[in-house]
Structure 1
Amino acid sequence: MTETVFVTARDLARTYDGGAYENAWEAVEQYREATRYANTHDAGSGATASALNLPRGRLRTWIDDSGAPDVVRGIDTAREYGWLKCTPNDDVFAGLNALVANIFSGGAIAEQYYRPSFALNHYGADSHVIDALELVGVDYEIIDDRDGRADEARPTADETVLGRVLAVLGAPVGPKTNQHLSLPSYLVVGSEEVRETFVYAYLENRAVHHEGKDTLTIIEERNDSYLSSLAALINDIAGGGVKRNAESITISADAARSLGTVR
């Protein structure tokens, strides 16, 4: 039985569209064809361009200067980390899944260059996001002293490729307030464990605890369909007891205890 794969090279290439190349995947295919021909025939950019009917200006950088396009380097980097073609049963996907949940519930991916930052919750350096970053294999730094704002973890290497991979998985890019959000599609076909990981990571960031009560509340300014989908997902994992209100989600005490999220 073939396992579901959530991130492919073609998916990742689409995040580069409109930059150096209007169709980044086409550039990837041309690069591979051109360098394969040049290596096989010991040919320079001129001969390769003539043989393949491709612009020599483009091939000169690829062949004579050995300069791969950013999209090719990004794909190679993602492959080295194991982010491409990972399946729900892979540890690396568990990390990516938790990071996607963090982007939805407190972190962000910058519109320019796809640089991600991840919110640390009340657990500080023991937040789930630290384990997630270690699972995906990237180095990171903790940013504190942010003028009253939550501390953050930020990757210090290959961060833009990671941000693009998270975007492919469905994480929002740019400010979330005015976006029409929807939960990642992989949660529909993902295993119970995948869905649980997403919910637990989300609740660690967004669940509000009330003094003397076990009830939890999520208050977010998001579009109606997103909040309804989120409430349904949490309700499914909790086995009931989750209610969608006008601008919030209430998780009953029994549901909170079932989820194990009560401090």
Structure 2
Amino acid sequence: MEWDQPVIDERELARTYDGGAYADPWTAVLDYQAVMRYASHHPDNGSYAISTALDIPRSRVRPWTENKSKPDPVRGIETARDCGWLDATYRDTEFTVLNTLVANIFSGGSIDAERYQPWFALNHRHRRSHVIDVLEETGLGFEFYHEDDAGRATEVRPTEGATVLGRTLAVLGAPLGSKTEIEDLTLPWYLEEAPYETREMFVLAYLANRAIHHRDKDTVHIQEERPQSYLDELAALIEDVSKEAVTVGEQQVTISAAAARSLGLQPRYRTPATTSE
């Protein structure tokens, strides 16, 4: 993939939606665009004439032309484009934001598998967690949950545009639902061809949530109930970014002191809150 080309395909975003009468939701987008284009060129034609000319059922054409309604995939694409996500290349701030949020889904969050609502757990920095700054960068509103519950990590959830954000993160490879139940969990597909800066940001965001530091040594480790293949993949990514040794054990990735120093990790001597996701 060229680094100066958009990373996200709007067709894949459309296909996260229920197509209704369409087997492929992307077809609904194409039909809507064709109807709008035809209507703009033939402003005196009604829904019946447009339906006949384009061979699209009038029951679909009429709401689009007369009621100004739009298929859900069209609305989702428009929202994502307005946010700058569909035109973003690896080098753009908008993609850096998305990449960081994907890392947070893997390391301390989740996306509802049915509604595509994302949520993110705050790390030990609480309201100074980096995910707050990143969400502010999206321009979307957000709310906090469980702040007064000592038994749960505080969560932050986007409000406006939340499900479109969740769908966009899913297109980039963020998992849906509980990660502990995904047997073939893998890191995001785009990291394989991404520039170093993108891979580094993913690793740093991930470790900000999951790294466990020690008082008596500079070694850092991650403790996670994930498939061994996933831990192997994660360790390989961290090693590639740090250029120093990273090893894998049972449900654990160990980052050598040299790798930790290379990544600029700052000791904090505490274990991250355990989450079920």
TM-score between the two structures when normalised by the length of structure 2:
0.91
* Structure 1, 211-220 or 162-171: larger mean CA deviation: 211-220
Alignment deviations for residues 167-192 of structure 1 (CA, whole Å, 9 cap, x no partner): 01110011111112111111111111
Structure 2 residue corresponding to 1:117, chosen from 116, 119, 123: 119
**What letter corresponds to residue 114 of structure 2 in structure 1?**
Q
- Secondary structure of 1:72's counterpart equals helix
CA-atom RMSD in angstroms: 1.5
Q: Which residue of 2 aligns with 1:229?
A: 233
Q: Distance in 2 between matches of 1:106 and 1:116?
A: 11
**What letter corresponds to residue 174 of structure 2 in structure 1?**
A
Shift of 1:146: 3.7
Structure 2 residue corresponding to 1:70, chosen from 72, 80, 98: 72
Shift of 1:226: 1.1
Which contiguous aligned blocks of 4+ residues in structure 1 show a shift greater than 3 angstroms?
17-21
Shift of 1:223: 1.4
Q: Which residue of 1 aligns with 2:218?
A: 214
Q: Which residue of 1 aligns with 2:263?
A: 259
Q: Distance in 2 between matches of 1:20 and 1:200?
A: 43
Shift of 1:225: 1.5
- Secondary structure of 2:95's counterpart equals helix
1:60 aligned onto 2:53 = no
1:197 aligned onto 2:197 = no
C-alpha contact 1:98 1:128 (8 A) present in aligned 2: no
Q: Distance in 1 between matches of 2:199 and 2:4?
A: 17
Shift of 1:51: 0.9
**What letter corresponds to residue 226 of structure 2 in structure 1?**
R
Q: Distance in 1 between matches of 2:240 and 2:153?
A: 29
Q: Distance in 1 between matches of 2:93 and 2:177?
A: 27
Q: Gaps (5+ residues) in structure 1?
A: none
Change (3 A) 1:140 1:167: same
**What letter corresponds to residue 10 of structure 1 in structure 2?**
R
Q: Distance in 2 between matches of 1:52 and 1:18?
A: 19
Q: Which residue of 2 aligns with 1:89?
A: 91
**What letter corresponds to residue 78 of structure 1 in structure 2?**
A
Q: Which residue of 1 aligns with 2:132?
A: 130
Change (3 A) 1:218 1:74: same
**What letter corresponds to residue 221 of structure 2 in structure 1?**
T
Identity of aligned residues (%): 53
Q: Which residue of 2 aligns with 1:175?
A: 178
**What letter corresponds to residue 82 of structure 1 in structure 2?**
G
Q: Which residue of 1 aligns with 2:14?
A: 13
C-alpha contact 1:95 1:131 (8 A) present in aligned 2: no
Structure 1 residue corresponding to 2:248, chosen from 228, 235, 244: 244
Q: Gaps (5+ residues) in structure 2?
A: 268-277
- Secondary structure of 1:221's counterpart equals coil
Change (3 A) 1:18 1:30: closer
Alignment deviations for residues 65-93 of structure 1 (CA, whole Å, 9 cap, x no partner): 11011110110010000010200111111
Change (3 A) 1:83 1:146: farther
Q: Distance in 2 between matches of 1:148 and 1:176?
A: 21
Shift of 1:17: 4.3
Shift of 1:219: 1.1
Change (3 A) 1:21 1:149: farther
Q: Which residue of 2 aligns with 1:25?
A: 26
Q: Which residue of 2 aligns with 1:163?
A: 166
Alignment deviations for residues 122-142 of structure 1 (CA, whole Å, 9 cap, x no partner): 111121111211222212122
* Structure 1, 157-166 or 181-190: larger mean CA deviation: 181-190
Shift of 1:20: 5.8
- Secondary structure of 1:193's counterpart equals helix
**What letter corresponds to residue 104 of structure 2 in structure 1?**
N
Shift of 1:39: 2.5
Change (3 A) 1:186 1:221: same
Q: Distance in 1 between matches of 2:113 and 2:3?
A: 34
Q: Which residue of 1 aligns with 2:41?
A: 40
Change (3 A) 1:105 1:73: same
